[in-house]
Each structure stands twice: as structure tokens, then as C-alpha cells.
Amino acid sequence: MSATEILKPTDLKKVSNDAEMAKAKEALAHMTAADEARKNFQEEFMKRDVRPNVGELLNQAMRRAAENGSSVLKVMEFPAEFLSDRGRAINNSEPDWPKTLQGWAERGYAYFEKELAAKGFHLRAEVCEFDKEGRPGKVALYVTW
């Protein structure tokens, strides 16, 4: 029979601490990657422009919605933090909520005003998701007819 040396409590504490440190490093790496992805998404959102073929795409999508008996089409969804007031005006149904739009949403609204409003379409904005603290998390824009 060979004598196996039993680990000491200090050895076990080191094993435990090392395991916790590895988990913490992994969690930090995930958080860093998520922050970087969110930052990249926000930068792209702020730079993005309305597609040149947006009219064609809207016609197709609105036709499908109408064929399915709907009179509403979600055209955009994005984090409320991309709004200048983090979604407060939309959440409170304030009439000047379009002034809070930025980036792609602002350009999309300008397209709506120029091309769709005069044809009888309406644009509705709503908070479609709240965060854990009850603040607006995501906002959606809908074209209605």
C-alpha cells in the first residue's frame, strides 16, 4: 500500500481560490466582450443610414402585414439608451418624443416624415422592454395605417 499524502486545508483553500479567480476572469472576459459588442452596435447605429431601397422593402413588408390582417408594422427596435433621454419621453407618451431620436432612428423618422406621413401613415413609438429597475430598456417604432 502506497502512502498518499493528504492535502492540507491551506492547499484546499488555494485550490478553491484559484477556481474562484478563474471564474472571475472568465466573467470579466464575457463582460468586456459584451461591452465591446454593445459599443460597436451603438457606433454602427449612430452612423447607419436609411437603405436606398427602403421604399421597396417597406412596401413588401406592409403588404405582407396587410395580407395577414394587420395594420401595423414594427420597423425598428433599439436600446432606449440610444435616445437622448433614455426613453423617458416615449414612455410618458410626450408629443415631442421624436426630438429624442438619434442616429439611425432619427434618420428613419426623417424618412417617415418625408415619404410616409403625407400618404396617411402614422408612426408610433413605445417602450417594448424594461430593465430590472423598471426603466425603459428597448424601444420600438411602428408604422401604422
In a domain, 15, yes or no: yes
Residue 140: Cβ-neighbour burial (10 angstroms; 0-12, 13-18, 19+):
middle
In a domain, 2, yes or no: no
Provide the residue range defining the domain that includes 18: 9-47
Please answer whether residues 12 and 20 qualify as being in contact, where contact means their C-beta atoms are separated by less than 8 angstroms.
no
61-113 pLDDT, tens digit per residue, is 999 999 999 999 999 999 999 999 999 999 999 999 999 999 999 999 999 99
Q: What is the pTM of this model?
A: 0.78
Q: Are residues 43 and 56 in the same domain?
A: no
Average pLDDT value over all residues in the chain: 95
Q: Are residues 89 and 123 in the same domain?
A: yes
Using DSSP bridges, classify how beta strands 72-79 and 122-130 pair: parallel, antiparallel or unpaired: unpaired
Q: For residue 42, what is its C-alpha cell? A: 451603438
* Domains contained in the chain, number: 2
Is the dihedral angle over the CA atoms 22, 25, 30, 31 positive or is it negative? positive
